[in-house]
Amino acid sequence: MICAGIDAGSRSIKGVLFDTVRSQTIAFGLADQGVEQERLATELFEQLLKNAGLERTQIGGIVATGYGRNAIRFADSTVTEITCHARGVHHLAPGTRTIVEIGGQDSKVISLEEGGRVRDFAMNDRCAAGTGRFLEMVASRLDMTWEKLSELAQQSKKPAHISNMCVVFAETEIIGLLAEGKPLSDVVAGVQNAIATRISALAGRSICPPICFTGGVALQPGMARALDEVLSSPVRVVPQPQFTGALGAALSVRPSHQTGGGL
């Protein structure tokens, strides 16, 4: 059976087509989020079908997740992103006991039991600190891309200490550090460390290795290393980390869904 997962996140919509017989992803893609979420999700879904050479009738079921999941009306059902990230990561790395997920506008720490069941979780969706939005602000302020930020962070010899956990005040602090002559690479590395520190505070004592890192921010080199240091444990970035929620949604399709709803 071919199943579909749609993750309507805060910054982008991700989609996955998963073949349950071969136990592998056969198509995936993403689109920027916008006001017309269902239209964007529909267009993405149709593109995935085209890429996989499939017809809509060949899809056994569609599950939507993410903060915008209820807007995806062509889905057969919805499942929370906590459950979907747990299922997606467990499929990719079965031994995982803790998931750190950092997206565009929220971050999560999910504790798993053996077998991949969710034991507990903590979530930050009220403050941009500890999310990709922090990095976006820095990139915009410095007039550079995310890729350039990553390059700079890796050149750092002594990451700057950024004490403010509020993005607005941290921006002022960053400007002050640069005015003092702090190397740009050290300031950027300091931003990564500040995000990692926020994740550590969010997790409290619930961190248990092995730890996997997912979400769009996991694509930025240096972030996993920053998490390694503050969590005092190796952090593994799963393959295609921005798609774990959509993968988990596809894995949540129930066998009884032999056909999905119309578009």
For residue 210, whether the previous peptide bond is cis, meaning omega lies within 30 degrees of 0, is: yes
**Would you say 230 and 194 are in contact if contact means Cβ atoms under 8 Å apart?**
no
Query: What pLDDT, on the 0 to 100 scale, is given for residue 261?
Result: 36
Strand partners, 99: 110, 212
Q: What is the mean pLDDT of residues 85-100?
A: 96
Query: What pLDDT, on the 0 to 100 scale, is given for residue 204?
Result: 81
Strands 12-19 and 2-8: antiparallel
Higher pLDDT, 243 or 154: 243
Going from N- to C-terminal start, the domains of the chain cover 1-93+240-263, 95-237
Query: What pLDDT, on the 0 to 100 scale, is given for residue 129?
Result: 66
Count of beta carbons in the 10 Å neighbourhood of residue 96: 21
Q: What is the mean pLDDT of residues 153-160?
A: 89
Percent of the chain with pLDDT over 70: 93
* pLDDT tens string 42-65: 999 999 999 999 999 999 999 999
In CATH terms, 95-237 corresponds, of 3.40.50.970, 2.60.120.370, 3.60.15.10, 3.30.420.40, to 3.30.420.40
* pLDDT tens string 189-246: 988 898 898 899 888 877 899 999 999 899 988 899 999 999 999 999 999 999 999 9
Average pLDDT, the chain: 89
HSE at residue 117, side-chain half, CA atoms within 13 A, is 4
Q: What is the mean pLDDT of residues 83-92?
A: 96
Establish whether domains 1-93+240-263 and 95-237 are of one fold: yes
Query: What pLDDT, on the 0 to 100 scale, is given for residue 263?
Result: 34
Higher pLDDT, 37 or 3: 3
- Does the pLDDT of residue 35 top 60, yes or no? yes
Distance between CA atoms of residues 72 and 49, nearest Å: 17
- Which CATH number describes the domain made up of 1-93+240-263? 3.30.420.40
* Token pair recorded at residue 225: 């290393």
Q: What is the mean pLDDT of residues 90-102?
A: 96
- Does the pLDDT of residue 186 top 90, yes or no? yes
Query: What pLDDT, on the 0 to 100 scale, is given for residue 22?
Result: 93
